[in-house]
Amino acid sequence: MSDTPSQPRHIPADLPARIQHYIDGSFTDSVDGDTFDVLDPVTNEAYLQAAAGKKADIDRAVAAARTAFTEGPWPRMLPRERSRVLHRIADLVESRDARLAELESFDSGLPITQALGQARRAAENFRFFADLIVAQTDDAFQVPGRQMNYVNRKPIGVAGLITPWNTPFMLESWKLGPALATGNTVVLKPAEFTPLSASLWAGIFEEAGLPKGVFNLVNGLGEDAGDALVKHPDVPLISFTGESSTGKLIFGNAAPFLKGLSMELGGKSPAVVFADADLDAAIDATIFGVFSLNGERCTAGSRILVERAVYDEFVERYAAQAQRVIVGDPQDPKTEVGALVHPEHYDKVMSYIEIGRTEGRLVAGGGRPDGFPTGNYVAPTVFADVSPDARIFQEEIFGPVVAITPFDTDEEALALANNTKYGLAAYVWTNDLKRAHTFAQSIEAGMVWLNSNNVRDLRTPFGGVKASGLGHEGGYRSIDFYTDQQAVHITLGAAHNPTFGKGA
């Protein structure tokens, strides 16, 4: 449903007119003075200008980060000392969660209540890694009486972090937390659609006591700033979250330098609903799973596969509930779906809806909701009877659009679930314990939730298979990615060497 705004658009107080890069502890314009417009997704009008970084700006940022790594105190601090700084960062983020959410919602179109939840998750990310590095233990192995071996963990250097425009502040924290916790320095390149909340990191880090040069931020387009960061010879690590097509470019551009890569890419995740499932819970979860965060989420269950015995009931109830989802101003606490991030993305999503009209049966939504003549608003849209060869079944739409497809057997459900190039997440709804576990283990996905929506445990690996990613982050996997593990071997007693060169 639409919820026609009853009052004028809320504009956050003290919005900046421009944002700059942050390099070596100072805010700075681009070397060439170039800027780009940042749009309000509700009006599609430019409300600020951001410095447009190029290779020269990336060079400055990497040089600052490299100096901070080789000469500064941060990599040489004890884990407990770095942990204290990270906890202060978490405290500051928590204390400013309302302001962070307000700016994030305004900049991205994300509903304010969901933006607030993401701000709190950002604080928790820092707190988690602050605790983890203090509790971190590394392997030691011994051969009794002969040899001792242990692992020495070391930060790698300058980490290049490239983040997306969906829930940007939280996803930035997901990379910044472990990169900084392990003693690296960083250059962050936030998404050009949503740079506003990223500009707040500098003040938070300064107040928390992060040394100068450890954190650097360069705004700009992916083909300029992002490309220069990936190709910089003094950046040994790249962590990227974004589209699979961009991930392929990064993979190719990083290859000549043999960089470490962690890439969380696109998804077209299945939600499989068996006839014995709790339909009330499954419908609530799958509605939330595709329409929360405006549908702009990589783990969205955007393909719902339903056993035929309950298919008609499921489709009818799902479509009716989707029509009751409240579309509204992102800053209104009642809003459940806000405005999509940018007119380019809005056009993409709308084009898929038009394709869907020829590939499935439209049962809810289908375009711009009533009462919203302007802005990037899309009504929650549901297509039923979608064939597995349809584009809306196969391709990532990244908006409030879902495809529902029936199945008859477990084998058919599994074939449908695995029938895309993606493999990020999957959701299985059944009360059959044996089926739940065997089915989950057969799905080609990096993460599976049984009788649950996307509930994260930060200790577990996060990542996908196939076109959905390369590597995993989360918990110790993040520690592994951001550190080198050096094996040290110690001989106990006499050296056990073969003797060469003493023969007659």
Quickly tell me which residue has 């980060």 as its tokens.
65
Kindly give, in sequence order, each residue whose CB lies less than 8 Å from that of residue 334, ignoring residues fewer than 6 positions away.
3, 326, 328
Structure tokens at 319: 């479509």
Q: What does 158-224 look like in DSSP terms, one character per residue?
A: EEEEE--SSSHHHHHHHHHHHHHHTT-EEEEE--TT--TGGGGHHHHHHHHTPPTTSEEE----III
Q: How far apart are CA 306 and CA 308, in angstroms?
A: 6
Closest CA to 89 of 168, 182, 207: 207
Task: Confirm whether 192 is a catalytic residue.
Answer: no
DSSP track, 101-170: HHHHHHHH---HHHHHHHHHHHHHHHHHHHHHHHH----EEEETTTEEEEEEEEE-SEEEEE--SSSHHH
The residues that bridge with 448 in the sheet, in sequence order, are 426
Cα of 71 vs its chain's centroid, Å: 32
Exactly one of 102, 172, 192, 298 is catalytic; name it.
298
* Count of Cβ atoms closer than 10 Å to residue 471 Cβ: 17
Q: Considering the candidates 104, 172, 192, 264, report the single residue annotated as catalytic.
A: 264
What span, in angstroms and rounded, lies between the C-alpha atoms of 54 and 221?
8
Amino acid symbol at 46: A
Compute the distance between CA of residue 351 and CA of residue 347 in angstroms, rounded to an integer: 6
Amino acid at 276: D
The residues, any chain, with a CB within 8 Å of residue 301's CB and separated by 6 or more, are 269, 270, 271, 286, 289, 290, 402, 425, 427, 453
| Residues 282 and 429 sit within 8 Å (Cβ to Cβ) | yes
Whether 298 sits among the annotated catalytic residues: the reply is yes
> Where in the sequence numbering do the catalytic residues fall?
264, 298
